[in-house]
Amino acid sequence: MWLWREFSDLTLVSSPIHRMQNHFALFDLPLTFELDRTRLDTAYREVQSTVHPDKFVRANEAEKRVAMQWATQANEAYQTLKDPLKRATYLCQLNGVDLQTESNTSMPAAFLMQQMEWRDAFDEARHAGDTQAMFNLEKELQAAFKSQLNKVAAALNKTDFLEAGQEIRACLFLEKFLSDIADWDAP
């Protein structure tokens, strides 16, 4: 992996500045959805050991500020890349696809029908206080999420970022739904 140098005149004089074009480059990782988590973790620790603000306690204020900025960027990059859904979203964004998650809720009809069935099952289980039904629904949604994430990976592997975006939106729904189930208080 590339080497970091010391701070100089408010900027890092080293290859990381040139490499910080994206999160993958910061950690010297290939720009792909499939990711070696151990390699990511190792690279993150290496970057943090170099730029962590605690290493610059005796530095001037400008150098401390730059160290904090680098540490913040490294943390943000790590959090994005370690989560498959965030990583997929980031790859789409890097390739010019804005998922418009706040405004674009269009989904295929079959998925919308399945959503309605799951919501009905959730409401029935919740109102009946049926823990077993809720557990079964959670298992079904986890399997659906895993399957959907595989669709995201397949779309990204063939560099179809528009399709990947559609599949990511479905994953986001499933993730939210699983969160709703986790927040349910069983009687």
In tens, the pLDDT along 60-74 reads 888 888 888 888 889
State the residue range of the domain holding 119: 109-183
- For the domain that residue 74 is a member of, what is the CATH number? 1.10.287.110
**Residue 97: inside a domain:** no
Dihedral sign for Cα 168, 170, 171, 176, please: positive
In tens, the pLDDT along 111-161 reads 999 999 999 999 999 999 999 999 999 999 999 999 999 999 999 999 999
**Residue 92: inside a domain:** no
Kindly state whether residues 128 and 163 are assigned to the same domain.
yes
**Residue 96: inside a domain:** no
Q: Of 82, 101, 120, which residue constitutes the final position of a domain?
A: 82
Kindly state whether residues 124 and 70 are assigned to the same domain.
no
C-alpha distances in Å from residue 155, one per residue of 42, 82, 174: 28, 19, 18
Number of domains in the chain: 2
- For the domain that residue 146 is a member of, what is the CATH number? 1.20.1280
Kindly state whether residues 144 and 77 are assigned to the same domain.
no
| φ/ψ of residue 22, rounded to 5 | -155, 170
**Residue 100: inside a domain:** no
Kindly state whether residues 77 and 12 are assigned to the same domain.
yes
**Residue 98: inside a domain:** no
In tens, the pLDDT along 2-57 reads 323 333 333 343 434 334 579 999 999 999 999 999 999 999 999 888 877 777 77
